[in-house]
Amino acid sequence: METDTLKPSRLNDLKAGAGHTTSEVPPRCLRWVLVAAQALPSDDKCGKRNQPCHPTLPEHEPSTSKSPWRTVDATGIIPEQSCEETLNAPPSAGRHSRGTWEGSEAHSTMDLDFMLVAGTRPNFVKLAPLYRALAARKGPRLMITHTGQHYDHAMSGSFFEELGVPEPEVNLEVGTGSHAQQTAGIMVRFERLLDSHTPRWVVVFGDVNSTIACALVAAKAGVPIAHVEAGLRSRDWTMPEEINRVLTDRLSDRLYAPSRDACENLVHEGISTERVRLVGNIMVDTLRAQLPTIDHATLLREYEIKARHYVLVTLHRPSNVDHPDTLRQLWTAMQEAGRREPVLFPAHPRTRSRAVEFELPPATAGFRLLGPLPYRTFLGLMANARVVVTDSGGVQEETTALGVPCVTARLNTERPITVIEGTNRLVRPHASSLLEALAQADGRRGRIPELWDGQTAERIAADLLEASSGA
């Protein structure tokens, strides 16, 4: 039977302009000579090629987000609120923070070197090692700002505790909204914060609404921006994250890329090589630091599972969970797989609420629906899984770093290196395709991409300090 998974043969069917296939990796890609934390060679001609290496499947579904506009208040309740009300009214003192966005006394205007901004679960995992690397150098004055995009303890506060990072000094408490409402809400609040706390650099992470909102404000305030995880591209303009990536990179002064294909994307878009650094994957720093602290035997006992005999699932992309038919397909596949081996599904709040809305069948003994998990618990479950099913960007990378097979229920990926070098496989989000991919998931270990060595934060910290001393 023909599978819907991404295979080298299938890669050759790519639409023109959609990217390079595995076998079509342009020779010049291999000629990138790049020393960690050094500028890309400015005479490199990669930017003149048509497209960098980039696996994808040839179709995609439009994404729709229909979150109601809500924001958090001091009580922790999330009331329905008008956009105008929320933009005009300052939010209350932050949970997961030591101060409000306007009232922080932590720093006065001129004594701050780096403001590290994060808003969502994956941002916190990227921020933690860089904060530690900068703090260890003792000299730089740091401040963490939380936009409040994620606000539940399980999605936010627990990460700061677990990863050993101090609570953010400021929480903008933007909460949930449509894309425009959330992005604009962060911008208004962050702009006011920058009036009183002007850092020498603003550091943003990843591709979420918080990333672009703060980058846009910083750029107009004339504050240099460093973007950690620059250059990733899915070429899927229906993905809100793709828009955030492209725009954030365009605004940034220092672009820290996790892989060579990301560097090539940037150069292809005309970004000066002087601003780009290949530093490796900062999530791997956190993964490597935390993995040895996990008691795997206890974890497996707690969840009543055996190593390599269960499937771990995480799905939250609007393109998968906001469409009843697609989510039903995924749900059916997981229920079916749960008849053969335990399927553990820690569901994102978005996914859980859609499952209720679409009246999907309840979990079964084999298909176990869980709440969002703390970082270390999720990492331990990933490390011991037979296979992981996901649509998350970070999980594609983490499974590659762990050497655990990964089935990504998406038609494209902004992280092609996880397919080309790692353990990842793209699969159409249909029940039959997913079940087939699960049955075929072998023990392919892949190889660890260049510079995914746990030292990325050190490279960024060294470069940022150098950039800041020259600024």
Which positions lie near ligand UD1, rule CB under 6 A? Answer: 67, 120-122, 149-152, 155-156, 176, 208-209, 240-241, 316, 348-350, 392
- Residue nearer to ligand UD1 on the CB measure, 51 or 71: 71
CB of 169 to ligand UD1, least distance (A): 20
Residue 433 near residue 57, CB atoms below 8 Å: no
Q: Which of 140, 206, 124, 133 is nearest to 460 (CA)?
A: 133
- Residue nearer to ligand UD1 on the CB measure, 126 or 350: 350
CB of 331 to ligand UD1, least distance (A): 18
- Residue nearer to ligand UD1 on the CB measure, 353 or 469: 353
Q: Which of 63, 415, 426, 413 is nearest to 238 (CA)?
A: 63
Which helix (DSSP H) or strand (DSSP E) does residue 319 occupy? helix 318-321
Q: Are strands 406-408 and 343-346 parallel, antiparallel or unpaired?
A: unpaired
- Residue nearer to ligand UD1 on the CB measure, 32 or 358: 358
CB of 121 to ligand UD1, least distance (A): 5
Among all chains, which residue has been given the structure tokens 């780009």? 276
Copy the structure tokens of residue 78: 């999330």
Q: 114 in helix, strand or coil?
A: strand
What lies within 8 Å, CB to CB, of 460 at 6+ separation is: 37, 130, 133, 226, 228, 256, 277, 279, 282
CB of 466 to ligand UD1, least distance (A): 30
User: Is 316 marked active-site?
Assistant: yes
Amino acid type, 244: N
- Residue nearer to ligand UD1 on the CB measure, 152 or 421: 152
CB of 239 to ligand UD1, least distance (A): 9
- Residue nearer to ligand UD1 on the CB measure, 155 or 334: 155
Cα 410 to Cα 407: distance, rounded to the nearest angstrom: 9
Number of Cβ atoms within 10 Å of the Cβ of 194: 21
CB of 251 to ligand UD1, least distance (A): 16
Cα 454 to Cα 271: distance, rounded to the nearest angstrom: 27
C-alpha 113 chain-centroid distance: 25
Among all chains, which residue has been given the structure tokens 């750029």? 219
Residue 427 near residue 408, CB atoms below 8 Å: yes
Q: What does the DSSP assignment read for 270-293?
A: T--GGGEEE---HHHHHHHHHGGG
- Residue nearer to ligand UD1 on the CB measure, 100 or 209: 209
Residue 58 near residue 18, CB atoms below 8 Å: yes
- Whole-angstrom Cα Rg for the chain: 21
Active-site annotation holder among 197, 316, 323, 348: 316
Handedness of CA 129, 132, 137, 142 (dihedral sign): positive
Copy the structure tokens of residue 374: 């703390």
CB of 227 to ligand UD1, least distance (A): 15
**Residues with catalytic function:** 316
